């Protein structure tokens, strides 16, 4: 009887030892797994960069930039920013050439009721007139960084970008009896429909108007266009329009957008 009891005790001790070993292995495995999981979190790749990035602010236009806007519907320009101010001139939505009518923006102001008005240069006679129109009558603003200077004494056309000359060419201007008007204007439209030997391959309509006579169609507006007689340039040869050699008007057309201010001096 003693021997079976001894064997039973031995088996019990062995079983306890095996169980203790199994428990130790399980605890060790869980500890290792936890450690591995923690290490795994540290080893994950960094989060990808956000797809939404806000860039540093940049200047939309230089100090020499000008603004223009199209006329959305017929409106009356006033002498001051008020509905009761004196009427200066009516503005149509289209030009005589059928293009969108635009005005050069000179400033902004609000009336007593808080309504926003825009001070604009007008394509009317007498030249150099300005007026005020309600902001809602105009489209979105366009921005240009160019400025065309017509020198009637030197008979040159110079295009500036941000105040620096990028183009210059000799011109033909109006004869003494049909002078090219002096003043501040702007490029009102760009046209190719008048492409011909006389007008050349490209023409620009300006807001300047002749009070005498002009060879530019549509109500006496001064044009800038090519010529069939380049040998006459520079010279006073036109009825008021500004003529350039055909290669020069094409080069000018590559750099001068609609809305560009024009100074004729």
Q: Tens digits of per-residue pLDDT, 231-245?
A: 999 999 998 999 999
Q: Where in the chain is the domain with CATH 2.40.440.10?
A: 146-264
Q: Where in the chain is the domain with CATH 2.30.30.40?
A: 66-144
Tell me: pLDDT of 6 over 90: no
Closest CA to 101 of 82, 81, 128, 120: 120
156-166 average pLDDT score: 97
In this prediction the pTM is 0.76
Question: Considering the domain 66-144, what is its CATH architecture?
Answer: Roll (2.30)
CATH topology of domain 146-264: L,D-transpeptidase catalytic domain-like (2.40.440)
Task: Determine the number of helices (DSSP H) and then strands (DSSP E) in the chain.
Answer: 2, 17
Residue-wise pLDDT for 106-130, tens only, equals 999 999 999 999 999 999 989 999 9
Exposure string for 205-240, b = 16+ CB within 10 A, e = fewer:
bbbbbbeeebbbeeebbbbbbbbeebeebeebbbbb
């Amino acid at each position: 009887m003693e021997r079976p009891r001894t064997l039973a005790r031995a088996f019990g001790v062995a079983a306890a030892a095996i169980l203790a070993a199994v428990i130790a292995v399980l605890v060790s495995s869980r500890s290792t797994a936890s450690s591995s999981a923690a290490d795994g979190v540290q080893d994950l790749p960094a989060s990808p960069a956000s797809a939404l990035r806000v860039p540093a602010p940049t200047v939309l236009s230089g100090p020499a930039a000008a603004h223009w806007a199209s006329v959305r519907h017929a409106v009356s320009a006033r002498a001051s920013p008020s509905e009761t101010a004196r009427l200066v001139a009516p503005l149509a939505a289209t030009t005589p050439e059928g293009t969108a009518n635009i005005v050069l923006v000179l400033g902004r102001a609000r009336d007593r009721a808080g309504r926003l008005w825009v001070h604009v240069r007008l394509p009317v006679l007498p030249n150099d007139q300005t007026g005020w129109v309600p902001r809602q009558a105009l489209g979105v603003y366009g921005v240009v960084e160019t400025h065309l200077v017509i020198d009637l004494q030197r008979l040159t056309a110079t295009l500036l970008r941000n105040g620096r000359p990028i183009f210059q060419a000799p011109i033909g201007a109006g004869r003494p009896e049909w002078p090219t008007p002096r003043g501040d204007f702007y490029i009102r439209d760009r046209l190719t429909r008048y492409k011909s030997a006389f007008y050349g391959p490209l023409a620009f309509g300006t807001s300047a108007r002749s009070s005498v006579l002009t060879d530019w169609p549509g109500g006496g507006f001064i044009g800038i266009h090519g010529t069939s007689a380049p040998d006459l340039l520079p010279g006073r040869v036109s009825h008021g329009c500004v003529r350039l050699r055909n290669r020069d008007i094409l080069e000018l057309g590559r750099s001068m957008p609609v809305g560009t201010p024009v100074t004729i001096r």
